[in-house]
Chain A
Amino acid sequence: MISIAISSQKGGVGKTTLSINLAHAFARAGLSTLLVDADPQGSVGLSLTRQSRLLSGFYDFLADPAIPMERLIVPTRLETFSLVAAGQASDYEAGNGSSGSHLARVRAFLRNVSARRYDICLIDTAAGLFGVTNDVIASADALILPQQAEPLGIRSVPKLLEGLNRLRIINPRLNVLGVCLTMLQQGLAVSTEAASTLRQLLPEEMLFQTAIPRDEIYIRASAKGLPVGVLEDGGGAETVFDSLRAEVQAKLGKSRHQAHIQPD
């Protein structure tokens, strides 16, 4: 199994949209996929299931690792796609707790997921590199960094990279798959210029070629509690995430080839 954290320094960059739709793309491709909501805001659950406020989830496991995984994993209509909600644990502030305080339990959670023979576990984290998010990144095999295509977001990139370099001290096998531009607005000069600047700043292999456009279809999809590809007119958006999925798989394949990621 490969665990991939989806994280960003800044909030509101389309992290949950990317997580849901990339996980759906993996599942449609036939890979057994688990999407985990590690954001205390619970956006994945709120987007995909009406029962999210009742479901036990990731933070409940952190509070009590004796909870069986069967109680946490929620199946979907797509056989290869399951999810784990954020949960009801009262100490939701755990999302902001000291780094390292949940490391062992996050790793135990991932071991349990791996034992259930998932191919991919995508973890949508809270924004910022601290608390449980730090522990998730310090435990995951790989990392995708959604980055909003606008100047303020891009100014946060040095801080993000600095933080990640520190985290690699704790997790040296972390494979940084790259930055994925999100909310790109082709008709807006400041957005395309920001994207272009980021492409100049970062090494080519650090950026995904696929960029996620800003589109009202994502709002409609989350309103209906569905991944965008399920909508009747979601074919275009589905293609975008298929393309991103192919890039992720290519990068993972390359990494495996270079023996940076040890398969289970």
Chain B
Amino acid sequence: MDPINPWLDPAEVRHLAEQLLRPVTPTRLSAADPGFDPSFVGFTSPESVAAPAPAPAAEPEQQAPAAPPQAPPRETEAPHRKAETNLSAISESPQPPPVAPSRTRFLERIRIFRDWLAKNFHATDIFILDREGKVIFDESGHGRLHFMARNLALASRGSGNIHVKVGPASILEVIPCETPYGRIVLGSIVPEALPANHVQTITEVLIQTASPA
């Protein structure tokens, strides 16, 4: 029996190798990236990358969410009440997200989660990627942040959250999270790396937010 070929796809290997041989033109950070400090190293523009890129959501309101929105709107008595319960149990935790109307679309629940995250953890540029790296929700407008978050999440191999300094007082906090719809990746800019208990809280609330009622 051939000890190699049944284990791999020759066309895929060749494609990946050819992709590596193709030159990539380095680009500089532009002034139009207010989310990044010039001292940050490591990003490149999405245009210069050969690998498929998750397109940033130009208009989050019009962005079709990944898995959850494909399901019809349903009663959601649980998610936000669950979130409220959990949050109240955490001493350091701030105000829970406001109670949403009983019929709440996925994106609306995410927005409530977003407001809670921003208010209580001073998070900005919040975005959520699905398991394919596509944008579910984005208020950052920075495709580079999505690239970095996706790669960090892949590199972490399920070992938890990861953070990278992107400026003097800016940390990109990446929290991969398993939900009933598969793995999603939460990214946000925070002033300081989040402690483990806050990451745990955020993860729990995000799972509830992203879960069907």
Contact = CB atoms under 8 A, between A and B. Distances in A.
Interface of A: 98-101, 103-104, 107, 129-130, 134, 138, 151, 154-155, 157-158, 161-162, 164-166, 168-170, 172-173, 176, 190, 193-194, 197, 200-203, 205-206, 258, 260
Given A100-B164, A155-B4, A169-B44, A206 B20 contact: yes
Contacts of B25: 172
A197 B21 contact: no
A126 to B, nearest CB: 14
Interface residues of B, number: 41
Contact of A161 (B5, B16, B48, B157): B16
Given A98-B156, A99-B151, A158-B8, A170 B13 contact: no
B196 interface: no
Contact of B151 (A107, A166, A173): A166
A197 B24 contact: no
A154 B6 CA distance: 12
Q: Is the interface of A mostly helix, strand, loop or mixed?
A: helix
Contacts of B162: 98-100
A82 B156 CA distance: 34
Contact of B51 (A151, A165, A260): A165
B77 to A, nearest CB: 38
Nearest to A198: B4
The 3 nearest A-B residue pairs measured at CB: A161-B16, A172-B24, A151-B3
B208 to A, nearest CB: 26
B20 A99 contact: no
Nearest to A206: B17
Contacts of B9: 158
A52 B128 CA distance: 46
Contact of B14 (A103, A155, A201, A205): A201
Interface in B49-77: 49-51
B8 A165 contact: no
B102 interface: no
B40 to A, nearest CB: 9
A98 B27 CA distance: 25
Q: Which of B19, B23, B42, B165 has the most CB of A within 10 A?
A: B42
Interface in B61-118: none
Given A99-B156, A103-B42, A164-B20, 15 more contacts: A98-B155, A98-B156, A98-B162, A100-B42, A100-B164, A151-B4, A154-B4, A161-B19, A168-B50, A170-B43, A172-B49, A190-B3, A193-B3, A201-B14, A202-B17
Contacts of B157: 130
A169 B20 contact: no
A158 B16 contact: yes
Contacts of A197: 4-5
A206 B22 CA distance: 11
B152 interface: yes
Interface in B98-151: 147-148, 151
A176 to B, nearest CB: 5
Contacts of B165: 104
A138 B44 contact: no
B26 interface: yes
B26 A161 contact: no
A14 to B, nearest CB: 19
Contact of A168 (B8, B20, B164): B20
